[in-house]
Structure 1
Amino acid sequence: MRVEDLVYFCAPSRLVMGAGCRKQLPALLRRLGYRRGLLVTDTFFTGATPWVDELVAGARAHDVELLVCDGGMPDPTTTLCDAATAAVRERLDGMPVDHVIALGGGSNIDLAKALCLTLPGGKPVRAFLGSIDPGTPILPLVAMPTTAGTGSEATPGAILVDPDNATKVAVMDNRLRPAVALVDPEFTYTCPPRVTADAGIDALTHAIESYLTIDSASFDRGGEADPGYSGRNALTMLFAHESIRLCGRYLLRTYQDGSDSEARIGMSYASVYAALSYGSAGLNAVHGIAYAVAGQTHLSHGTTNAVMLPYVLDALADVRREELLAIARLLDISDGDAGIAVARVPVVVRELVAAVGLPTTLQACGIGPGDVDALVRDALAVTRLAKAFPVPDVAARYGAMVRKAWAGTLSGAAHALAQPRRVA
Structure 2
Amino acid sequence: MNLFGTLRAPQELLFGAGQRHALGGIAAALGQRALIVTDARLAADDDFVALVGKVRDAGLAVLVDSSTLPDVPVEAASTSAKEARSFAPDLVIGIGGGSCLDMAKCVALLLAHGGRSQDYYGENNVPGPVLPIIAVPTTAGTGSEVTPVAVLSDSERSLKVGISSPHLIPTVSICDPDLTMSCPPSLTAIAGADALTHAIEAFTAIRRDPVPGITRQRVFIGKNELSDQFALRAITLLWQGLEPACRNGGDRAAREKVMLGATLAGLAFGVAGTAAAHAIQYPVGALTHTAHGLGVACLMPYVMTWNAPVIGNELARIAQAAGLDGPEEVIPELASLFARIGIPSTLSELGLEESRIGWVAEQSMGISRLIQNNPRPLTPEDMHNLVAAAHRGDRSSLS
* TM-score using structure 1 length: 0.89
Q: Deviations over 1:286-325 (max 9, x none)?
A: 1011112112211110000111001111112210101101
Read off the aligned partner of 2:84 and give its amino acid letter. V
* Counterpart contact for 1:89–1:122, Cα < 8 Å: no
* Counterpart selection for 1:144 from 113, 126, 136: 136
Aligned pair partner of 2:22 in 12, 17, 24: 24
Residue identity matched to 2:207: D
Q: Name the aligned partner's letter for residue 342 of structure 1.
A: P
Instruction: From the superposition, tell whether residues 125 and 371 of structure 1 become closer, same or farther in structure 2 (CA, over 3 Å).
Output: closer
Are 2:357 and 1:372 equivalent residues in the alignment?
yes
Deviations 1:160-210 (A, max 9, x none): 111223222222221110000110001100001110010010010000000
Structure 1 residue corresponding to 2:295, chosen from 294, 304, 313 = 304
- Cα gap change, 1:327 to 1:131, in 2 (>3 Å): closer
Structure 1, 362-371 or 146-155: larger mean CA deviation? 362-371
1:63 aligns with 2:46: no
User: Which sits farther off after the overlay, 223-232 or 168-177?
Assistant: 223-232
Tell me the SS of whatever aligns to 2:395: coil
Q: Following TM superposition, by how much is the alpha carbon of 1:358 offset from its aligned partner in structure 2, in angstroms?
A: 1.5
Counting only pairs closer than 5 Å after superposition, residues 45-194 of structure 1 correspond to structure 2 as: 45-47=42-44, 49-90=45-86, 92=87, 96-120=88-112, 122-130=114-122, 136=128, 138-194=130-186
Quote the Cα distance in structure 2 between the aligned partners of 1:22 and 1:393. Answer: 44
Q: Does 1:3 align with 2:6?
A: no
Which residue does the alignment assign to 2:201? 209
In the other structure, the counterpart of 2:286 is 295
Q: 1:402 Cα deviation (Å)?
A: 1.7
Q: Find the counterpart in structure 2 of residue 268 from structure 1.
A: 259
> SS of the residue aligned with 1:295?
helix
In 1: Cα distance, 2:231 partner to 2:183 partner: 24
**Cα deviation, residue 121, structure 1:** 5.4
Residue 219 of structure 1: how far off its partner (Å):
9.2
What's the CA shift string for 1:81-109, capped at 9, x where partnerless?
A: 1111222224x1xxx22110000111111
Summarize the Cα distance change of 1:215–1:162 in structure 2 as closer, same or farther, 3 Å threshold.
same
Q: CA deviation at 1:384?
A: 0.8
1: CA distance between counterparts of 2:372 and 2:97? Answer: 28
Q: Is residue 2:312 matched to residue 1:333?
A: no
In the TM superposition, residue 56 of structure 1 has moved relative to its aligned partner by 2.4
Tell me whether 1:388 sits opposite 2:388 in the alignment. Answer: no
Q: Does 1:247 align with 2:238?
A: yes
* Farther off after superposition, 111-120 or 182-191: 111-120
- Per the alignment, residue 352 of structure 1 pairs with 337
Q: Which letter maps to 1:210?
A: A
Aligned counterpart, 2:385: 400
Residues 332-365 of structure 1: CA distance to partner in whole angstroms, max 9, x if unpaired?
A: 322xxxxxx3333211111111111110011211
Q: Quick check: 2:185–2:247 contact (8 Å CA) kept in 1?
A: yes
Instruction: Please tell me whether the aligned partners of residues 347 and 412 of structure 1 are also in contact (alpha carbons under 8 angstroms).
Output: no
Q: Which has the larger radius of gyration?
A: 1
Distance 1:344 1:399, change over 3 A: farther
One-letter amino acid of the counterpart of residue 8, structure 1: T
Q: In structure 1, list runs of 5 or more residues that go unmatched.
A: 335-340, 415-424
Equivalent of 2:348 in 336, 340, 363:
363
Q: Which residue of 1 aligns with 2:31?
A: 34
**Residue 133 (structure 1) shift:** 6.3
**2:221 is matched with which residue?**
230
Deviation at 1:228, TM superposition (A): 2.1
Higher deviation after alignment, 358-367 or 211-220: 211-220
1-side partners of 2:175 and 2:217: how far apart?
Answer: 26
- The SS at the match of 2:43 is helix
Choose from 41, 61, 64 the match for 1:44. 41
SS in 2 for 1:71: coil
SS in 1 for 2:70: coil
Deviations for 1:38-84, whole angstroms, at most 9, x for unmatched residues? 0000111111x122321222122221222111111101111111111
Identity across matched positions, percent: 32
Distance between the aligned counterparts of 1:64 and 1:124, measured in 2? Answer: 28
Q: Hey, what's the Cα distance between the residues in 1 that align with 2:125 and 2:396? A: 47
**Matched letter for residue 388 of structure 1:** N
Distance 1:130 1:202, change over 3 A: closer
More helix by share: 2
Deviation at 1:132, TM superposition (A): 5.9
Question: Displacement, 1:396?
Answer: 4.3
Please state whether the residue corresponding to 1:3 is helix, strand or coil: coil
